[in-house]
Amino acid sequence: MRPVRHLVRPGLLVLLVMAVVPATLGPSASRPAAQVARVGASPTPTPSASPVTPSAPTPDARPAALTVDMAVGQMMAASFGGPNITDGLRHLILDEKVGTVLIFSDNFTDAASLLRLSTALQRLGREAGLPAPLLIAVDEEGGRVMRVHDGVAALPSELELGARGPDGVRQAVASTASGLHALGIQLDLAPVADLRSNPADGVIGDRSFGGDPSAVGPLVAAAVNGLHDGGVAATLKHFPGLGGAAGDPHSVMPTDPESLERWAATQALSFKAGIDAGADAVMTTAVVVPGLDPSGTPALFSRAVVTGLLRDRLQFEGVIVTDGLGMGGITTLYGLPQATVAAVVAGNDLVLLNSADADYQASAIETVKQQVRSGAIPMEQVQASAARVIAMRARWPVWAPSLIDVSASPPAFELALSRR
């Protein structure tokens, strides 16, 4: 049976994405970006001062749910190698309905080539009939983690930037974000919210604002607000915190001996400050913290951590995104299909597949679909995750300008409303 399709103009998109959340969740009131798709009945965190952003009333009628293909595709973030869009990436977007692409430095050479790439990716997203503008994400923390240098204002490391205080952080981050926005980037995988509590940590170092939650929290909130000022969505990372672990998940799976009580008094506070500031996403990472999950399951695959702590205890209602599943600490223990399923089961909304092998990424996506169709992963959970991701994309639309006609109107998107 052919799916029924309707043309949806961008202005109406937020109304529709809310409808894919299961009816049992009930209508939600206007709130910051990170709280578009509400889960449970927990109170809404009070956001810090930041620019007023548009919100939409809850629609009276609920369209039918997204298809399995479309819903799962919105939960996936693809990667590719080289400066040109590959046939494999085209397949992932057009056929697997992948709604997010993570950009690395080898995918472009300068600002002009990045703009051409983001424009071409948006065209592919429209051709695929995605329910919101394709999301283009990048790591742009500052200091030693800067994927884009040309066309954006440079940022120092967070440790150095934090010396300017919250106002200085907000201003500097906003300047960088406005450059990203102009180049077609909607999501920055920043700021780093980890507290550096272990000098022997192998990955955070000067990427953190520091080790004191009372000082770091306001700086994390300022960075979130700065990204929003520049028109880019913000991602807190690396939940539940990497700064206390010795080791680097890019090579081996680190372990943090921190207790739940100690975590709640330290790392949790800096993440909560960013959440209260309206962070759009929180990235979960590969670290084993027995004090948070006695089973020894790595945090990003742990339902106790992802859903129990982040979603329920910290009351985060936005997009939960995984760290890259291609990190060595993960690949030595799990294959990509297994890791992708485990991440979804834990409660992550968006999975960074982090592979240049399009076939391998497609196999992971198909494995998740099989689990959904078998009932092992509830369709309601997938619909809710897709709704959160779509809502974030609808709130931060970067209509990459046509290189031929920069005055072109924003396009309409087709939204498949039948369930396969």
Catalytic residues: 250, 323
- For 205, the 3-state DSSP assignment is helix
* 416 DSSP assignment: E
With tokens 């970006």, the residue in question is 33
Structure tokens at 243: 């700064």
Whether residue 235 contacts residue 188, with contact meaning beta carbons closer than 8 Å, is answered with yes
Stated as kind and residue range, the H or E segment containing 238 is strand 233-239
Q: What is the DSSP string of 351-413?
A: EE---S-HHHHHHHHHHHHHHHHHTSS-HHHHHHHHHHHHHHHHHS---PPPSS-TTPPPPPE
CA atoms within 13 A on the CB side of 271: 28
In 41-142, DSSP assigns E strands to 76-78, 100-103, 135-138, 140-142
- For 48, the 3-state DSSP assignment is coil
Q: Residue 200 burial (CB < 10 Å; 0-12/13-18/19+)?
A: exposed
How far apart CA 191 and CA 193 sit, in angstroms, is 6
How far apart CA 224 and CA 190 sit, in angstroms, is 8
Residue type, 323: D
Is it true that the peptide bond before 290 is cis, omega within 30 degrees of 0? no
- For 31, the 3-state DSSP assignment is coil
